[in-house]
Amino acid sequence: MLWLQGKGGSKGVAQLHSLLRMREANMLGHNGGFNAPERCHLGAHMFRPNFPVELIDRMQSRAYIGQFSAEGDVFIAAFQHDRRIRVYETENSWRLRKNVHCRNLRWTVTDTCLSPDQQFLLYASINPTVHMVNMRTGAVESEANVTDIHEALHFDVMDNEGASDYHHSFGIWSLRWGADGREVVAGTGDHSLYVYNMERQKTVLRITGHQDDVNAVAFMDESSHIIASGSDDTLIKASSHHHLFSHRAKPAGVLVGHSEGLTHLDSKGDGRYLLSNSKDQTARLWDVRKMYSSHEYSRLPRPTIPSFGNWDYRWADFPARGYIVPHPQDVSVQAFRGHSVLQTLIRAYFSPAHTTGQRYVYTGSADGSVRIYDIVTGRTVDQLRYHHEIVRDLSWHPSEPMLVTTSFDGSVVQWEPCRLHPGSDDDDVAETKPVRRRALPDDPGDDRLEDFY
């Protein structure tokens, strides 16, 4: 990993554009060029993690969540049937740091998130209560009221300008913690966004505007000034910080282009670009500067797009599989096609800035594969195959060419770039062999609980 010295002596992982800018200004030394570590760092984007090298863990349960922390030193995996969240130390041979026995779950863990300082872990389910676990306590086994405190955050308790508390029942599908640590935002099954203030221990705002479940939320940049929400009503809506803390908060803009419900959102982090995944079997790239204002959207004619009646993505294949269903009011920048979005809220992400310059988009798939797309052309550059069951969540390490996938087959698998034998042709992929540190079965197995559900 390559580090750059910042102001005040602080260090940060070197980004591609920072190195290029420093070379332009002749600030690198080395006779104005890159040294060997810098050349390796700049070339890292060419080595995509496309080969399974290690079985990190396997549970008799479907894996719903799999995410690296912001620094990449921690990986979080959440499992359905075992009601567990397992936290691994990536720099210590994937040692188990926490084995969280979740409480008050309904169906599964729907989402998790870490506090900005990585001290606290939140987990949500299909109910209005989020639980918080301290990651820095000594015990590995984290069982509520036995070895740890799982503090309950009640999102259904409203604090509205001195009004009495208001209790309302709903499920939480998506959870994000703001960069300043003060607010947590949740997308819910009652067509709303809830903003929870950690200092006041209450929900301070409910944002309405969608006509169906809000399955995904994302902060557009590190300032947390703009929140994007994706819903089963097929729309992405954005609320600015100015509107967010008005008690009559409404979305400020609308992104139109999907023909079915949203399953996930990921922000590029620059306040401009957003990635979505949808039940219409596409992921889409958006520029929020192209969004309709709420007033403009209200004046648009009703779009003429095919309707599939009572089609439910949980039980049936997409009726228009193999066809492109255009939206007449589409304002997306790029569409990515090839993966399958069925049965569950499958996720899609931008590749890391530090090693790839966010050149790629990657997504799980209901067919058990992983797709990596070129963000400019929209074409598939890699299709990774190992799992037989749904890959719902996955995460690319923020500073190393490493990908980890979690699947309904219960496995957590690490992927790295293919290693070529000395003297072999770079194009001869058939001659590559993975470097495996732990036994990786040729067959990951099937969803052992498929008949149960």
Please give the DSSP secondary-structure letter assigned to residue 410: S
Q: Is the pLDDT of residue 433 over 80?
A: no
How far lies 81's CA from each of 107, 126, 129, in Å? 8, 15, 19
For residue 16, being part of any structural domain is answered with: no
For residue 55, being part of any structural domain is answered with: yes
For residue 42, being part of any structural domain is answered with: no
Q: Find out whether 230 and 265 touch, Cβ atoms under 8 Å.
A: yes
How would you class 322 by CB atoms within 10 Å of its CB: exposed for 0-12, middle for 13-18, buried for 19 or more? exposed
**Structural domain count of the chain:** 1
Question: Which pLDDT tens digit goes with each residue over 180-223?
Answer: 999 999 999 999 999 999 999 999 999 988 999 999 999 998 88
Strands lying side by side in the sheet with 63-68:
63-68, 74-79, 84-89, 95-101, 141-143
Distance, in Å, from the CA atom of 58 to the CA atom of 177, rounded to the nearest integer, reads 28
Please give the DSSP secondary-structure letter assigned to residue 165: P
For residue 284, being part of any structural domain is answered with: yes
Across 399-425, average pLDDT: 84
CATH of the domain at 264: 2.130.10.10
Range of the domain at 91: 49-300+312-431
Quote the tokens at residue 142: 């984290």
Strands lying side by side in the sheet with 151-154:
111-114, 120-124, 129-134, 151-154
Question: Which pLDDT tens digit goes with each residue over 303-357?
Answer: 888 878 789 999 999 999 888 888 999 999 999 999 999 999 999 999 999 889 8
For residue 266, being part of any structural domain is answered with: yes
For residue 74, being part of any structural domain is answered with: yes
Which position has the higher pLDDT, 14 or 120?
Answer: 120
For residue 187, being part of any structural domain is answered with: yes
Q: Supply the pLDDT for residue 1.
A: 47
For residue 7, being part of any structural domain is answered with: no
From 212, 317, 321, select the one nearest 262 (Cα to Cα): 212
Q: Is the pLDDT of residue 419 over 60?
A: yes
DSSP bridge partners of 349: 362
Q: Supply the pLDDT for residue 304.
A: 86
Q: Supply the pLDDT for residue 146.
A: 87
Question: Which pLDDT tens digit goes with each residue over 8-65?
Answer: 444 455 566 676 777 767 666 666 676 766 665 566 656 899 999 999 999 999 999 9
Q: Find out whether 327 and 353 touch, Cβ atoms under 8 Å.
A: no
